[in-house]
Amino acid sequence: MDWLVALAFFGFCWWRAAKARERAAELAATGIGCSPLYWVSNALVAVLLGLVLYIARTHNQSSVSAFLWLAALAIIVALLCLRRALKWRYPV
């Protein structure tokens, strides 16, 4: 049974990679890869991921300060605004 789950997982990963290549080619044609908004949004996603992992690690040992939660919320709002700006600038 484990091999069936592993096979399904790798099949899903293969399918997602194929879709990602198609999406990357589509976005490259529009020129979105050169946009500073695109790179800022990618950097904010990386910062948000790091912050959430830090919060998860800290939560096991002590309470998490409200500043970290507010920072995560502010990054999420900024990402939503950047996504809207990208969709407005590059309607793909």
What's the pLDDT tens digit per position in 59-85?
778 888 889 999 999 999 999 999 999
Q: How confident is the model at residue 92 (pLDDT cuts 50, 70, 90)?
A: low
Q: Report the distance separating Cα 32 and Cα 89, nearest Å.
A: 9
Three-class SS state of 48:
helix
Mean pLDDT, range 38-43, rounded to an integer: 91
Helices (H), 31-89: 36-59, 66-89
Q: List, in order, residues 6 or more apart from 37 with CB less than 8 Å away.
A: 82, 85, 86, 89
What integer is the mean pLDDT of 18-44? 85
**pTM, entire model:** 0.71
First to last CA, the chain: 41
**What is the pLDDT at residue 65?**
86
